[in-house]
């Protein structure tokens, strides 16, 4: 196997280590051809068949999902088409019955369970969307289940899980990451003998997600040149890549993952799945510390292009989708759109971006806007040592701030018997290029000013 990163030149397995936070890395991995089998499933996961899923499995899944899953729209996006020079379409899985594609894989797996497996009850672990798909399938099939979710799962998702599952499903919050929830689910299975429903590491799950690709080929007037998909555990990317490899082999599949949880990149570089020491859980639908063994086997068996997208860029894509197209995407749902800026798209190419889900808690939009502004270079924080005298703030406003700059945060406590007092000041610039001029004016002022750099403890506290 060979791997390369456009940022660093040739990269060999094990050489890159953990991907750099916030970078946009393009990794292409190719392997020798030949039959590929799924690796052994880790303890506590559902059984997998010896062979990886095929296009025929996807077609069979489409039959099982008929009347259950919605055939979601494939909509042209004029804005992104103008930006790229390509014909860009959005595959709107945010309009699926549970507002994400996860229903497809969950139902396709559960409908194939034996009566004995159903009677034992099911157990699942999820960051939220798979849980909704499982809960919906439990209600459709009359199966009882326990679903483990991280404590960081947005309330909106937890409420929807309870709604879809009704009295048949118990929602249990445990740990701060998907991996912690998955460990709790595995312990439950070992203790009770229940049937696990994995979110990505099963050929039946991947085949269900692959029905998205079958719909895309049916809906377009020509085969797509590029399909961009988000990747967390990898089941959706594996299912789509499997189908397109057989039914539209010239189509280029790009997997986009959050820079703060780049488990696929790490696996491709290392030559197998590895567990990341820590991840940024912000993109909750794709924040997985370890890529699935089966998805890795699928994606590493073909030429696979992977891009890492900064969480701030994802936030900007979310806001643009909402303000321009009226699309309410969750962070993982906007990954593919954010990735367009990181890949080369030929003029007049037909490109499909998968909007994978729209389960976003409205209370998160403050943080989303903040991260977007920081990513675009518009939001900055400073510690300013003000003279404790009348008019000091007015001097700062008149001599330091530019005409289009705005103060978004000001925290100051006057101290008696001191000549100066520190204030925490947040500034939103009118244009990103104005930062250097602002810093020059601060340097020329009589006040001592410290620019808080992203990544420092004080900065992380603020954002």
Taking all residues of the chain, what is their mean pLDDT, rounded to a whole number? 87
Please report the pLDDT score of residue 27 as a whole number. Answer: 57
Please report the pLDDT score of residue 303 as a whole number. Answer: 76
Q: Is the pLDDT of residue 3 over 70?
A: no
Please report the pLDDT score of residue 178 as a whole number. Answer: 84
Tell me the C-alpha distance between 385 and 422, whole Å.
Answer: 4
Report pLDDT digits (tens) over 126-181: 988 999 999 999 999 999 999 999 998 888 889 999 999 999 999 999 998 888 99
**Strands, sheet with 2-5, edge to edge from the N-terminal-most edge strand:** 9-11, 2-5, 26-30, 304-309, 252-258, 226-230, 350-355, 87-92, 74-76
Specify the range with the lowest mean pLDDT, choosing from 194-203, 286-295, 369-378. 369-378
3-state SS, residue 1: coil
3-state SS, residue 294: helix
**Across-strand partners of 254?**
228, 305
Report pLDDT digits (tens) over 382-394: 998 888 788 888 8
pLDDT band, residue 23 (cuts 50/70/90): very low
pLDDT band, residue 283 (cuts 50/70/90): very high
Please report the pLDDT score of residue 169 as a whole number. Answer: 97
Q: Select the more confidently predicted residue: 326 or 395.
A: 326
What does the DSSP 8-state code read for residue 450?
E
Specify the range with the lowest mean pLDDT, choosing from 59-73, 233-247, 314-328, 400-414. 400-414
CATH architecture, domain 104-196: 3-Layer(aba) Sandwich (3.40)
3-state SS, residue 367: helix
Is the distance from CB of 272 to CB of 314 less than 8 angstroms? no
Structure tokens that stand for 227 in this block: 């399909």
Give span(s): CATH 3.30.70.260, the chain: 377-462
Tell me the C-alpha distance between 351 and 364, whole Å.
Answer: 29
The mean pLDDT value for 272-281 works out to 94
Q: Select the more confidently predicted residue: 22 or 431.
A: 431
Residues in the chain: 463
pLDDT band, residue 9 (cuts 50/70/90): very low
The mean pLDDT value for 245-270 works out to 96
Please report the pLDDT score of residue 339 as a whole number. Answer: 98
The model's pTM is 0.84
3-state SS, residue 213: helix
pLDDT band, residue 14 (cuts 50/70/90): very low
CATH classification code of 377-462: 3.30.70.260
Specify the range with the lowest mean pLDDT, choosing from 7-11, 66-70, 93-97, 329-333. 7-11
Report pLDDT digits (tens) over 41-85: 443 344 444 479 999 999 999 999 999 999 999 999 999 999 999
Q: Is the pLDDT of residue 362 over 50?
A: yes
Please report the pLDDT score of residue 463 as a whole number. Answer: 65
Matching residue, tokens 């506290």: 461
Give span(s): CATH 3.40.50.1100, the chain: 2-101+202-370, 104-196
3-state SS, residue 168: helix
Which residues form the catalytic set? 102, 356
pLDDT band, residue 26 (cuts 50/70/90): low
The fraction of the chain above a pLDDT of 90, given in percent, is 65
Catalogue the E-assigned strands of 87-217. Answer: 87-92, 122-125, 145-149, 169-173, 195-196
The mean pLDDT value for 25-32 works out to 44
Please report the pLDDT score of residue 398 as a whole number. Answer: 86
Domain spanning 2-101+202-370: CATH 3.40.50.1100: yes
The mean pLDDT value for 26-54 works out to 47
Tell me the C-alpha distance between 54 and 242, whole Å.
Answer: 6
Tell me the C-alpha distance between 55 and 113, whole Å.
Answer: 21
């Amino acid at each position: 196997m060979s791997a390369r990163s456009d940022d660093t030149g040739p990269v060999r397995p094990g050489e890159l280590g953990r991907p750099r936070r916030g970078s946009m890395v393009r990794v292409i991995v190719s392997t020798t051809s030949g039959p590929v089998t799924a690796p052994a499933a880790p303890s506590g996961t559902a059984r997998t068949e010896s062979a990886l899923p095929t296009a025929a499995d996807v077609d069979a899944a489409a039959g099982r999902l008929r009347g259950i899953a919605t055939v979601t729209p494939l909509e042209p996006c004029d804005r992104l088409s103008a930006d790229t020079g390509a014909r860009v379409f959005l595959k709107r899985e945010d309009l699926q019955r549970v507002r994400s594609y996860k229903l497809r894989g969950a139902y396709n797996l559960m409908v194939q369970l034996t009566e004995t497996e159903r009677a034992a009850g099911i157990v699942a672990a999820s960051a939220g969307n798979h849980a909704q798909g499982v809960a919906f399938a439990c209600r459709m099939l009359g199966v009882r289940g326990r679903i483990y979710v991280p404590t960081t799962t947005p309330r909106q998702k937890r409420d929807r899980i309870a709604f879809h599952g009704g009295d048949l499903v118990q929602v249990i919050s445990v740990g701060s990451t998907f991996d912690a929830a998955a460990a709790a689910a595995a312990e439950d299975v070992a203790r009770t003998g229940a049937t696990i429903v994995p979110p990505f590491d099963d050929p039946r799950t991947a085949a269900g997600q692959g029905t998205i690709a079958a719909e895309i080929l049916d809906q377009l007037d020509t085969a797509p040149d590029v399909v961009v998909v988000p990747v967390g555990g990898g089941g959706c990317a594996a299912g789509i890549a499997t189908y397109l490899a057989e039914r539209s082999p010239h189509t280029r599949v790009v997997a986009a993952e959050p820079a703060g949880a780049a488990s696929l990149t790490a696996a491709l570089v290392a030559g197998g799945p590895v567990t990341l020491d820590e991840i940024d859980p912000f993109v909750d639908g794709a924040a997985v510390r370890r890529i699935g063994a089966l998805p890795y086997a699928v994606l590493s068996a073909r030429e696979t292009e992977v891009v890492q997208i900064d969480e701030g860029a994802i936030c900007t894509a979310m806001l643009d989708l909402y303000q321009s197209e009226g699309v309410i995407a969750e962070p993982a749902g906007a990954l593919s759109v954010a990735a367009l800026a990181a890949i080369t798209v030929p003029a007049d190419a037909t490109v499909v971006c998968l909007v994978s889900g729209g389960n976003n808690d409205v209370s998160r939009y403050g943080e989303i806007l903040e991260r977007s502004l920081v990513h675009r270079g518009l939001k900055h924080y400073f510690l300013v040592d003000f003279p404790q005298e009348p008019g000091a703030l007015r001097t700062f406003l008149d001599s330091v701030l530019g005409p289009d700059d705005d103060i978004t945060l000001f925290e100051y406590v006057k101290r008696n018997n001191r000549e100066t007092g520190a204030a925490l000041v947040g500034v939103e610039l009118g244009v990103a290029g104005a930062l250097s001029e602002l810093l020059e004016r601060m340097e020329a002022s009589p006040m001592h000013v410290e620019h808080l750099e992203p990544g420092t403890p004080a900065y992380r506290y603020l954002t």
